[in-house]
């Protein structure tokens, strides 16, 4: 039952680069094939993942990869707008699927993906989102245990430099899935839904477009109510000034140790960029096949992944997920429920996929779960545009 999954990858872009240390190190996964239109990415994949016993296979076309009989499951890491097409192809060929967040850009596309998986008789998982991270999973366990009473209020806040990392033009176009609501609220909403029980009722939100040179949402604030009375406030800014990693002991989102003296690095990196084409070229220098490959990296991260400052106020205590565990603030003392240091970054993602494929364990991060999170993200945009509270109706429990 611990036989590694034979994984294929659709899209060797930035999402793949971020997941590469996990995919390369996890003992329950073996990368055997990939599809990408870039020849340099295909060459790098063949170099990184061929073994003396078997050559890694690459394709310029996603459908050819989906038809590969040696692939059991696919990690779909293509740009957001292609997810529905690639999920349909994978399901047609009866491949289990891990599709990157956001699942899609419309609820209709989510429903089509769920139906394709049902007809194909395969598992559909959505991720990586930060709700896979061990500190949030442990906090959810503590909440469900009842030791601290029911959750009543959640505050989630994350300040990053997201909007000033090199971007392609479509990443600054909300209609094509650009901006922080699709790419970053998908993480924050997922985490808060996990901690609060999943069933959002209403959303009231504002969004911010503070820089005309970056014409998409760079910030948002949202107020969520849940079916059982929990409320949550979500704040996110990607404008590269205050950095909330300061509240996490200067551990970064990926568990890496941060240098607070690197303040403003993202904006400085764009200072010499004059055109969208130059910025896209700058981003391409970080792409797989051009940037130094991390496939052989074996160093464990310093701490667990996280998504900023989060406090869950329960009836009997406040819980604060951290990069190394969960801080608990009771009536007369506080303590850390420590977690062992991770050996493989983001291992929980492939653990869940492996359990689904090998043991037929229904994944927590199912297509229905991913659609519920997208529904809240779309409600943030709708509420910000209309100035009204928005009700949601496709929510599911963890």
Q: What is the pLDDT of residues 226-250, one digit of tens each?
A: 999 999 999 999 999 999 999 999 9
Q: Which two tokens stand for residue 148?
A: 């601290």
Residue ranges matching CATH 3.40.50.720 in the chain:
5-130+346-365
Rg of the Cα atoms in the chain: 20
pLDDT tens readout for residues 293-334: 877 666 778 899 999 999 999 999 999 999 999 999 999 999
Q: Which CATH architecture has domain 133-343+376-391?
A: 2-Layer Sandwich (3.30)
CA dihedral 12, 15, 21, 25 (to 10 degrees): -70
Mean pLDDT of the chain: 95
Per-residue confidence (pLDDT) for residue 296, from 0 to 100 = 67
Check: pTM over 0.75? Answer yes or no. yes
| pLDDT lower than 50: segments of the chain | none
Per-residue confidence (pLDDT) for residue 291, from 0 to 100 = 82
Instruction: Label residue 20 left, alpha or beta by phi (over 0 means left) and psi (-120 to 50 means alpha).
Output: alpha
Q: Which two tokens stand for residue 272?
A: 């010499």
Question: In terms of Cα–Cα distance, which of 296, 295, 285 is closest to 40?
Answer: 285
d(CA 156, CA 329): 17
Per-residue confidence (pLDDT) for residue 216, from 0 to 100 = 98
Q: Which two tokens stand for residue 123?
A: 């598992």
Residue ranges matching CATH 3.30.360.10 in the chain:
133-343+376-391
CATH level 3 topology of 5-130+346-365: Rossmann fold (3.40.50)
pLDDT tens readout for residues 378-397: 999 999 999 999 999 999 99
Query: Three-class SS string for 285-341?
Result: CCCECCECCCCCCCCCCCCCCCCCEEEEEECCCEEEEECCEEEEECCCCEEEEECCC
d(CA 77, CA 82): 9
Is the separation of the CB atoms in 369 and 42 below 8 Å?
no
């Amino acid at each position: 039952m611990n036989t590694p999954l034979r994984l294929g990858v659709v899209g060797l872009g930035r999402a793949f680069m971020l997941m590469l240390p996990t995919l390369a190190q996890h003992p329950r996964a073996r990368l055997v094939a990939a599809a990408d239109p870039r020849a340099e990415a295909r060459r790098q994949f063949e170099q990184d993942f061929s073994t003396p016993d078997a050559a890694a296979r690459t394709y310029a076309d996603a459908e050819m990869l989906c038809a590969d009989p040696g692939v059991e499951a696919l990690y779909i890491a293509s740009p957001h707008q292609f997810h529905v097409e690639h999920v349909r192809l994978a399901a047609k060929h009866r491949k289990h699927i891990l599709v990157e967040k956001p699942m899609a850009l419309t609820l209709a596309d989510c429903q089509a993906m769920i139906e394709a998986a049902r007809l194909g008789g395969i598992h559909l998982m959505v991720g990586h989102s930060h709700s896979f991270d061990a500190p949030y999973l442990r906090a959810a366990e503590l909440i469900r245990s009842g030791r601290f009473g029911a959750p009543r209020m959640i505050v989630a806040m994350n300040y990053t430099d997201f909007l000033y990392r090199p971007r392609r033009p479509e990443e600054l176009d909300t209609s094509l899935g650009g901006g922080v609501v699709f790419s970053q609220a998908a993480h924050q909403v997922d985490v808060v839904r996990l901690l609060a029980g999943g069933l959002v009722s209403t959303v009231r939100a504002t969004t911010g477009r503070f820089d005309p040179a970056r014409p998409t949402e760079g910030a948002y604030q949202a107020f969520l109510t849940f079916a059982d009375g929990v409320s949550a406030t979500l704040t996110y800014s990607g404008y590269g000034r205050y950095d909330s990693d300061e509240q996490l002991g200067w551990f970064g989102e990926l568990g890496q140790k941060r240098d607070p003296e690197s303040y403003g690095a993202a904006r400085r990196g764009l200072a010499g960029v004059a055109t969208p084409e130059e910025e896209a070229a700058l981003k391409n220098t970080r792409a797989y096949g051009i940037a130094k490959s991390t496939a052989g990296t074996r160093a464990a991260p310093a701490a667990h992944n996280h998504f900023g400052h989060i406090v869950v106020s329960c009836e009997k205590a406040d819980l604060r997920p951290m990069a190394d565990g969960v801080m608990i603030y009771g009536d007369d003392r506080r303590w850390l429920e420590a977690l062992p240091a991770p050996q493989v970054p983001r291992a929980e993602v492939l653990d869940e996929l492996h359990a689904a494929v090998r043991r037929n364990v229904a994944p927590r991060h199912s297509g229905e779960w991913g659609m519920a999170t997208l529904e809240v993200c779309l409600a943030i945009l709708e509420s910000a545009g209309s100035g009204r509270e928005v009700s949601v109706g496709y929510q599911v429990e963890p």
